[in-house]
Amino acid sequence: MPDTLSGPVRGHADERLGGIVARFEAAVRNDPDFSFQAAAYHHGECVLDVWGGAHLGEDSLMVPFSVSKNIIGFTVALLIQRGELDLDERVSTYWPEFAAAGKRDVTVRMLLSHQAGLPQADPPLAPAELFDQELAATRLAASRPYWYPGSSFGYHGITIGNLALELVSRATGRTLHDVYEREIRGPGNIDFHLGLPAGLESRLVPVLPMVLPAAPAQPQVMPALLSRVFAPAGPTFDLANDERSWRFGHPAVSATGSARGIAKLFAVAVTGVDGGAPLLSADTVSIVGQQQVRGYDEVLGQAHRAHSIVFQKPTPDMPLGGPRAFGHDGAQGALGGVDPDTGVSYAYTVARGPWPGGADPRALALAAELNAVFGS
């Protein structure tokens, strides 16, 4: 049983993780506004479950932005394992209308690794339309891709959620929400939800504005496609804190969970928990964790990005673990991931992440030390 902590960082931690605890204690002492949760499993045993700061408690839930996409990844993985989805089948086999506007040969593999050229519909989907799945699917199916599918890749930051929702619905006759709830979250008792259940609202903590740098940052030129992809949701609509968003539970951006729940999702799926069998076979984990694309991202304008099926893969800027590791970060600092080679699953949430967003450096340091300690 991990040691019980009673200082500025509370919870439980394996004695081998004293360095992690000390760094979080220093961060809480040095910044009264810093609030976090962190959790980890090693081969299914919980070795870390800690929290600290004024804004987050033991049972707090947050919207971790794109850490939500891990739910898509594992739900799709389960369907692949069952043979209900084939990565190399055309999307239009399941969803005939998708063949329009030059998309007939887009495969499920391409769609779920950001290669389909649909980071936004044309014309762009407005915020309210993201939560009208029938309308969003119709609009995306009618849209011509921004690049020839398979010729490049670019982050489908929001639309991958609507695309996956429709794909799962067409392939199974069930919603992605239903498959996840009934066959993954519920049986695993995982505190990571798609659509916040009634009665849990009191646990929901708002995502706070990012911590801006002390010195004014140099003005950044937003890539033209990035502006088009995210501008409709812009500052007038808060994907994390607007009730329409977290109540719907958009699987790309607005699940609700704790670090404990996010880490447990990875552990339930990949290693099993407390001696139980994992949800996924080792072969399925290898299939969905296998790198599909690496290099320049057409949407983000970043030179070093990599994805497997839905999940992110390690890069110099995103050191999630070893070569078989995968996971996903969120816009304001949260992170969840797993390294099948070390058996380490981990997650981190933060109430107010640092500018310019993406995985908080403290989250990446957590992943690195966990894999170092348990991989040796």
Q: Which residue has the higher pLDDT, 6 or 172?
A: 172
* pLDDT bucket at 218, cuts 50 / 70 / 90: low
Question: What confidence tens digit (pLDDT) does each residue in 109-156 have?
Answer: 999 999 999 999 999 998 889 999 999 999 999 999 999 999 999 999
Q: What is the pLDDT of residue 237?
A: 83
* pLDDT bucket at 228, cuts 50 / 70 / 90: confident
* pLDDT bucket at 358, cuts 50 / 70 / 90: very high
Cis peptide before 356 (omega within 30 of 0): yes
Q: What is the pLDDT of residue 248?
A: 96
Q: What are phi and psi of 181, to 5 degrees?
A: -65, -45
Query: Cα separation of 223 and 229, whole Å?
Result: 10
Question: What confidence tens digit (pLDDT) does each residue in 78-99 have?
Answer: 999 999 999 999 999 999 999 9
Please check whether residue 38 is in contact with residue 24, taking contact to mean a CB–CB distance below 8 angstroms.
yes
Is residue 279 predicted with pLDDT exceeding 60?
yes
* pLDDT bucket at 235, cuts 50 / 70 / 90: low
DSSP conformation class of 67? G
- Distance from the Cα of residue 256 to its chain's centroid: 11
Question: What confidence tens digit (pLDDT) does each residue in 342-351 have?
Answer: 999 999 999 9
Which residues have CB under 8 Å from 213's CB, separation 6+?
355
The pTM (predicted TM-score) of the whole model is: 0.97
* pLDDT bucket at 224, cuts 50 / 70 / 90: confident
Q: Beta strand pairing status for 3-6 and 36-42? A: unpaired
Is residue 312 predicted with pLDDT exceeding 70?
yes
3-state secondary structure of 62: strand
Q: Which residue has the higher pLDDT, 128 or 253?
A: 253
Rounded mean pLDDT, 345-372:
95
* Bridge partners, residue 346, by sequence: 40, 337
Q: What is the pLDDT of residue 231?
A: 66
Q: What is the pLDDT of residue 80?
A: 98
Strands (DSSP E) found in 221-314: 256-257, 293-295, 305-307
Rounded mean pLDDT, 8-19:
97
Is residue 296 predicted with pLDDT exceeding 70?
yes
* pLDDT bucket at 232, cuts 50 / 70 / 90: low
Is residue 233 predicted with pLDDT exceeding 70?
no
* pLDDT bucket at 376, cuts 50 / 70 / 90: low
Query: Cα separation of 376 and 39, whole Å?
Result: 20
Question: What confidence tens digit (pLDDT) does each residue in 19-57 have?
Answer: 999 999 999 999 999 999 999 999 999 999 999 999 999
Pull the structure tokens for residue 38.
Answer: 């962190």
Which residues have CB under 8 Å from 81's CB, separation 6+?
280, 281, 284
The closest of 306, 44, 359, 51 to 155, measured between CA atoms, is 306
Start-to-end CA span in the chain (Å): 21
Burial level of 356, CB count in 10 A (0-12/13-18/19+)? exposed
Query: Cα separation of 102 and 122, whole Å?
Result: 14
Question: What confidence tens digit (pLDDT) does each residue in 155-164 have?
Answer: 999 999 999 9
The overall average pLDDT reported for the chain is 95
Rounded mean pLDDT, 322-338:
97
3-state secondary structure of 349: strand
Query: Cα separation of 334 and 292, whole Å?
Result: 23
The closest of 219, 264, 326, 331 to 40, measured between CA atoms, is 264
The closest of 20, 12, 8 to 371, measured between CA atoms, is 20
Rounded mean pLDDT, 195-206:
96
